[in-house]
Amino acid sequence: MKLNGAQILVNSLKSEGVSHVFGYPGGAVLHIYDALNACEDIKHILVRHEQGATHGADGYARASGKCGVTLVTSGPGITNAVTGIATAHMDSIPMVVISGQVPSPLIGMDAFQEVDAVGITRSCVKHNFLIRDISEIAITVKKAFHIATTGRPGPVLIDIPKDITIAKMEVEEYPKTIEMRSYKSTIKASDHQIKKAAEMLATSKRPILYAGGGCIIGNASKELREFTHMTGFPITQTLMGLGTYPMTDNQSLGMLGMHGTYEANMAMHGSDCVVAIGSRFDDRITGNLEKFCPTAKFIHIDIDPSQISKNVIADIPIVGQTKQVLQALIDQMKNKKLADISNWWSQIEEWRKVDSLAYKKSPGVIKPQTVIEMLYEVTKGKAIVTSDVGQHQMWAAQYYLFDEPRQWINSGGLGTMGFGLPAAMGAKLAMPDRDVACVTGDGSIQMMLQELSTMLQYSTPVKIINLNNGYLGMVRQWQEFFYEKRYAMSYMEALPDFVKLAESYGHMGIRVEKEEDLKPALIEAFNQKEHTVFLDIVTDPSENVFPMIPAGGGHSDMLLAGRDEMVSKDETDFNAV
């Protein structure tokens, strides 16, 4: 039987078990849409902007662990998708993006809606392909899914010229497996290194586990929990790792880094052995590298060799999957006698007493921290929470105690405002039985508002928690600290009436101005199982995110809310981002 390229492409997606495609049609992909329309197994989500398609597929992938799939047209279709592709790339999210291209003979002729998609996306994908012949379609799709989902995952783009989607060929069976001589996805960690690590850990007097997104992507939470309980070591998690270990557990010190807890950062600073597990010593974690963990040896576990000794030299590098390496470490340490770390825990408990997330309530205004605490209470800590980028993101990370992996979905690496709403939609499509909340701010939400329309079309009831302080809060906070309160362009004078806006999109809207109305509003919102509810919550515009490691500072230089003045104004502040 002969099929055209579009049909072969759609059949290939079906063979990969794709259930949802987030996309937007256009000239170059019309044949593909025609084929997709005839396929009952794949649900297409028509977004309102291609960036929403990539974030939607991304949220879907993060919530479910499956590969997200996006379909966009040539030219502006793919350029609009780039922000979402880069977002997924920075956070190692498996995604396959299919972009239409102008017909092969027109490539390079500055044709209508032509753009060099492979060139534009090269630096923000794990790999990309330009298909040149119909016979390459199935094998390329196979390779793309293989590359996107194995090793350190990431987005893969397939650019497909329109003429190839209408050409016909005799159908061949979809390849079951794929061998690529230049890509090896399975890496067996060195037994020797694991033994060395186990020995170092057994004698460590001040150990700390520092777990990142690699534990979630690598589905290593079970092993991480077992390892942590078995050793009795304290554990801190990165912004990307939250939930991989229960934050309500006593061994958890919370998040570390720029806005991490006092106990987590001080424990890093005082540790003699830091075990990085699927984390990459990002600048938001380390602060000033010269002041970072001055007395520690480092064991670094990561699947990507290029992350090891990039920012911090590893004493014991272990290249491998977090899940397998942790299992091997559990086996190695089962019968080992560990050093007594009770003094270390006493010290950590002293740091904990500092209560670094304490904040002062003031009458008449709603504190943003209170909103997150109440959100936690009303959802019993069980919701999937997505966020945008800024102060609200940090408060959500600090005050919603995530106990499960894939519960917290945010753009940690690229820091993409606009991510939260489409990601929540994608997460709800992947996990229809879960409560999904999008914690956002009045700045971020306006970057992807149009997806409210998609959310009505596909009935994805999400609760939008808008911390409305009238400011681009994180920008304002930095301007207050480092620019002598010159608030350049961080105040939004003309905000829409978000309640009316939500209603105009067919959703419910509730405005909350008083703290006593907050809890009833949250309860009401989550009782509305069938509806997306937009909670526009007016919060204290002067609130800042604390604790904070000032730029140029180390983990022991933390500033605490109400206890330290932010006065640092040396030159390093201005070079930091």
Partner 1 sequence: MRHIISVILENEAGALSRVAGLFSARGFNIESLTVAATTDSTLSRMTIVSVGDDGIIEQIVKQLDKLIDVVKVVDLTATEHIERELLLAKISISSDTQADVEAKLDQFNAKIVDAAEEAYTVELAGKSQKIKDFLSAFNAEQIIEVSRTGVTGVTGVCQKI
Q: How far apart are CA 368 and CA 361, in angstroms?
A: 10
Site for partner 1 in 482-501 (CB under 8 A): none
Q: Is residue 187 within the footprint of partner 1 (CB under 8 A)?
A: no
**Which secondary-structure segment (H or E) carries 99?**
strand 95-101
Q: Which is nearer to partner 1, 181 or 337 (CB)?
A: 181
- The token pair that represents 79 in the structure block: 């350029």
Q: Which is nearer to partner 1, 124 or 525 (CB)?
A: 124
CB of 305 to partner 1, least distance (A): 5
CB of 240 to partner 1, least distance (A): 19
Q: Is residue 105 within the footprint of partner 1 (CB under 8 A)?
A: no
Q: Which is nearer to partner 1, 183 or 483 (CB)?
A: 183
Q: Cα 541 from chain centroid?
A: 26
Inter-residue contact 52 to 454 (CB < 8 Å)? yes
Q: Which is nearer to partner 1, 174 or 183 (CB)?
A: 183
Active-site annotation holds for 534: no
Q: Is residue 147 within the footprint of partner 1 (CB under 8 A)?
A: yes
Active-site annotation holds for 565: no
Inter-residue contact 574 to 537 (CB < 8 Å)? no
Interacting span for partner 1 (CB under 8 A) from 62-70, 117-125, 168-176, 239-247: 117-125
CB of 127 to partner 1, least distance (A): 4
DSSP letter assigned to residue 458? T
CA end-to-end span of the chain = 58
Q: Is residue 174 within the footprint of partner 1 (CB under 8 A)?
A: no
From the list 7, 22, 50, 498, the catalytic residue is 50
| Total residues interacting with partner 1, rule: CB under 8 A | 17
Only one residue has tokens 């793309």, namely 144
Q: Which of 43, 310, 511, 519 binds partner 1 (CB under 8 A)?
A: 310
From the list 14, 43, 113, 136, the catalytic residue is 113
- The token pair that represents 245 in the structure block: 């270990």
CB of 211 to partner 1, least distance (A): 23
Active-site annotation holds for 50: yes
| 487-506 burial: b if 16+ Cβ within 10 Å, else e | eeebeeeeeeebbebbeebe
Only one residue has tokens 């928690």, namely 465
Q: Which is nearer to partner 1, 78 or 549 (CB)?
A: 78
Only one residue has tokens 């001055």, namely 294
Nearest 10 degrees: Cα torsion 544, 547, 549, 551 = 0
From the list 162, 367, 428, 463, the catalytic residue is 162
C-alpha distances (whole Å) from 152 to each of 163, 305, 322, 332, 448 are 33, 10, 11, 25, 28
CB of 229 to partner 1, least distance (A): 34
- The neighbouring-strand residues paired with 291 are none
Q: Which is nearer to partner 1, 130 or 548 (CB)?
A: 130
Inter-residue contact 222 to 204 (CB < 8 Å)? no
Q: How far apart are CA 397 and CA 408, in angstroms?
A: 8
Interacting span for partner 1 (CB under 8 A) from 116-124, 279-287, 333-341, 384-392: 116-124
**Which secondary-structure segment (H or E) carries 10?**
helix 5-15
Interacting span for partner 1 (CB under 8 A) from 60-68, 125-133, 214-222, 229-237: 125-133
Inter-residue contact 475 to 503 (CB < 8 Å)? no
Site for partner 1 in 286-305 (CB under 8 A): 304-305
Q: Is residue 119 within the footprint of partner 1 (CB under 8 A)?
A: yes
Interacting span for partner 1 (CB under 8 A) from 49-57, 115-123, 214-222, 262-270: 115-123
Interacting span for partner 1 (CB under 8 A) from 7-15, 123-131, 455-463, 479-487: 123-131
**Which secondary-structure segment (H or E) carries 464?**
strand 463-468
Q: How far apart are CA 376 and CA 519, in angstroms?
A: 11
Q: Which is nearer to partner 1, 148 or 449 (CB)?
A: 148
User: Nearest 5°: phi and psi at 135?
Assistant: -70, -15
CB of 577 to partner 1, least distance (A): 16
Q: Which of 125, 129, 115, 132 is nearest to 78 (CA)?
A: 115
Q: Which is nearer to partner 1, 126 or 406 (CB)?
A: 126
Max Cα-Cα span within the chain:
75
Q: Which is nearer to partner 1, 414 or 533 (CB)?
A: 414
Q: Which is nearer to partner 1, 119 or 520 (CB)?
A: 119
Q: Which of 44, 89, 126, 206 binds partner 1 (CB under 8 A)?
A: 126
Q: Is residue 575 within the footprint of partner 1 (CB under 8 A)?
A: no
CB of 148 to partner 1, least distance (A): 11
From the list 268, 374, 474, 558, the catalytic residue is 474
- The token pair that represents 47 in the structure block: 């977004």
| 336-354 burial: b if 16+ Cβ within 10 Å, else e | eeeeebeebbebbeebbeb
Q: How far apart are CA 334 and CA 208, in angstroms?
A: 18
Q: Is residue 527 within the footprint of partner 1 (CB under 8 A)?
A: no
Active-site annotation holds for 227: no
User: Nearest 5°: phi and psi at 160?
Assistant: -130, 115
CB of 101 to partner 1, least distance (A): 14
| Residues 360-379: x where in contact with partner 1 by CB under 8 A, - otherwise, as a string | --------------------
Active-site annotation holds for 455: no
The residues that are catalytic are 50, 112-113, 162, 474
Q: Which residues bind partner 1 (CB under 8 A)?
A: 118-119, 122-123, 126-127, 130, 147, 180-183, 304-306, 309-310
